[in-house]
Amino acid sequence: MIEKFLKTGIPKYFVSDGFIKTEDFLKEHLPESKKGFVKLKEISPESKSLKEEVDMIIKTVKDNWMKLSFDEIFSLIESNSFLSNFYKTEDGEKHKNMLREFKKSGLENMEDFLYDYRDDINDKFNEYLNSYKYDYLEKEVFIGVK
C-alpha cells in the first residue's frame, strides 16, 4: 500500500467528514459496565448563540478589514457585550491601540505588522475569548445494555 502511494501519490483512503449523535456513539462504544442511565451535557442555546455571534463579528472584521474604517470596526466589535467588556480592561485598551495602529498602517495581514508585544497582546485577547464559561444543560439518557 505504501509503495503504491509513493509511486502514484494517490492514497488508498481519503479524508472525510462524518456526524453521529452522541447517544448513537455511546450505544456502540460505551463499555457494557457503564451502560444504563448516563448524564450528558450540552451547551445552552444562549451560550451557543453568543459564541456564534462573537465568531461572526470576528470573521466580519477580518473579511472587511480593508473596507471598514477603524470606527466602523469598533462599532461592530462593541455591539457585543462580551467583546465590549474586554475593551474596558487594560489589556483591551492595549489591543484596541494596537488595532488602531494596524489599521493606520494600511496592512492587510497582522503577521506583516511590526508592533511591540504584538503577540502578547493578541494572546491576551485570545485568552479572554477562551475564558468564556459556557452554560451547560444536563440531560439524562438511557444507553441500553445488550
pLDDT of residue 146: 62
β partners of residue 42: 137
> Does residue 145 register a pLDDT over 90?
no
> Does residue 85 register a pLDDT over 80?
yes
With a pLDDT cut of 90, the percent of the chain lying above it is 73
Question: Residue 133 — pLDDT band, cuts 50, 70, 90?
Answer: confident
Q: Which helix (H) or strand (E) holds 139?
A: strand 136-143
Task: Convert the pLDDT of each residue in 16-32 to its tens digit.
Answer: 888 899 999 999 999 99
> Does residue 61 register a pLDDT over 90?
yes
- Confirm if 38 and 144 have CB atoms less than 8 A apart: no
CA atoms of 67 and 61, how far apart (whole Å): 9
Q: Which residue has the higher pLDDT, 99 or 133?
A: 99
The gap from C-alpha 16 to its chain's centroid, in whole angstroms, comes to 21
Residue 112 DSSP label: G
Domain ranges of the chain: 1-146
Report the length, in residues, of the chain.
146
For 114, phi and psi rounded to 5 degrees?
Answer: -95, 120
State mean pLDDT over 109-122: 92
> Does residue 137 register a pLDDT over 90?
yes
DSSP string, 35-48: -EEEEEEEE-HHHH
CA atoms of 53 and 70, how far apart (whole Å): 20
Task: Convert the pLDDT of each residue in 42-58 to its tens digit.
Answer: 999 999 999 999 999 99
pLDDT of residue 14: 85
State the chain's mean pLDDT as an integer.
92
